[in-house]
Homo-oligomer: A and B are copies of this chain.
Amino acid sequence: MTAHLILIGDEILIGQIVDTNSAWMGRELTLRGIRVTGKSSVGDSREAIAQALERAASDADVVIMTGGLGPTKDDVTKTTLAEIFDARMVFHQETYDRIVAYFNKIGRPVSPAMVGQATLPDKAVLLPNKVGQAPGMWFERAGKVFVSLPGVPFEMEYLMTHEVIPRLLATFPTHPVKHRTLLTAGEGESAIALRIKDFEDTLPPHIKLAYLPSLGQVRLRLTDMWEGDVTPETEAQIEAELNVKIAELAAILPDLVYGYDDDSLPQVVGKILAEQGKQFGTAESCTGGYVAHLITTIPGSSAYFPGSVITYSYEMKTKMLGVRPETLTRFGAVSEETVREMAQGALRALGVDAALAISGIAGPSGGTPDKPVGTVWMAVSDGKRTVTRKHLFGRDRLKNIQLTGVYALNLARRFLLGEV
């Protein structure tokens, strides 16, 4: 089964919002063996929506549209779909009652626009939206399926999970695509390509390798493109083969690999801390709490993370962490000596077993000839051992903060594992 996604809305074309819906849908569909062969974004115009829909239907079995179902005037999706599928717009009492109940539940008045929200094409199978207003719509024509969903991410996710995916799997026989992904931090795409060239050259033709670089990280994804019949035996065989190949790949890059598939650095660090029964904290200057934020995105992080201090000013570094004024004056706030004292101060101030300290120049200004913008010092210490690193990132403030987050968590990971 193949799917094409259509994102509707001027705001996506002019870049006022970043589309995250289609990545979520791509991931969920792929996991279930539904191959996404294309995506398109169009504005809030009848002609553009109609054209995108016909093109998509010529390429794929299923067309999933999001957006353009809101109560406001700029949304034209619904009436365009009624025209395309030759349907009449009718008031749907059950949907209206559900919307009224939803508003009552969240304690808000029901706006008159909700009558419009409950007026829907009579040829659509309605997919009840229990977490918002507009229902999803399911149309069929000439063996193809067309689904329209609201653009609000959690409403789309709810309807995909509870309505669309179960119905798709019931309508079309699927053929699971298998992936395994190796997660690396600390090297670029080209350097990795060089190290794994021999591995890549000897991959069988039905296994595809993709490099997925992001800030400070590269994910290496192996995909099995098996086209033959899938029996329980071939499926087990494919899975075993992918596992062997991913292990081979990990063995070539032991210094860079931090996890697999859906792991993330904060999660991997958290898992190590939980296993070692250690309490961990941060003392952050240029990252301003970003690393603590990453750590606390993980559910249950309170088990190993009691707190942090963010010391942006000289005075705070002295007052909260006991960094000596002489150290700051002599070596500067961005120096090995300062992050060393910050880490040791954090161990005392937070009462933790291991602490990470960071000080740098995030930019865009504040650089000097010997400490340009993007210079970052970091230290991890457990009181007995302190490991420090210096990095030189770029000129973009937000990227410097994010890159520092990746490198700092990876340093903490390797420190805790005794690799550095």
A288 within 8 A of B: yes
Using known A-B contacts A70-B189, A309-B308, determine if residue A24 contacts B20 with beta carbons closer than 8 Å. Answer: no
Question: Contact: B152 with A213, CB < 8 Å?
Answer: yes
For the complex, give the distance between the alpha carbons of A301 and B312 in Å.
Answer: 9
In the assembled complex, the Cα of A14 lies from the Cα of B25 at a distance in Å of 8
Interface centre among A7, A284, A296, A310 (most CB of B within 10 A): A310
Interface-facing stretch out of A35-43, A135-143, A163-171: A35-43
With most chain B CB atoms within 10 A of its CB, the pick from A23, A73, A289, A313 is A289
Contact with B along A1-30 (1 / 0, CB 8 A): 000000100111111111110111111101
- In the complex, the count of this chain's copies comes to 2
What distance in Å separates the Cβ of A303 from its nearest Cβ neighbour in chain B? 10
Q: Who on chain B is nearest to A196 by CB?
A: B72
Q: Indicate whether A394 reaches chain B with its CB closer than 8 angstroms.
A: yes
Distance, CA A401 to CA B294, complexed state (A): 11
Interface-facing stretch out of A203-211, A233-241, A249-257, A324-332:
A203-211
Asked whether A302 is an interface residue with its Cβ less than 8 Å from the other chain, the reply is yes
Per-residue B-contact encoding for A214-257, CB less than 8 Å = 1, 0 else: 10000101010000000000000000000000000000000000
Bound Cα distance from A276 to B401, whole angstroms: 27
Checking B14, B211, B313 against A306 with a beta-carbon cut-off of 8 angstroms, the contacting residue is B313
Report chain B residues within 8 Å CB of A316: 306-307, 350
Take A15-B27, A189-B70 as given contacts and tell me if A288 and B292 are in contact as well, using a CB distance cutoff of 8 Å: yes
Q: Is A295 an interface residue (CB 8 A)?
A: yes
Quote the shortest CB–CB distance from A216 to chain B (angstroms): 13
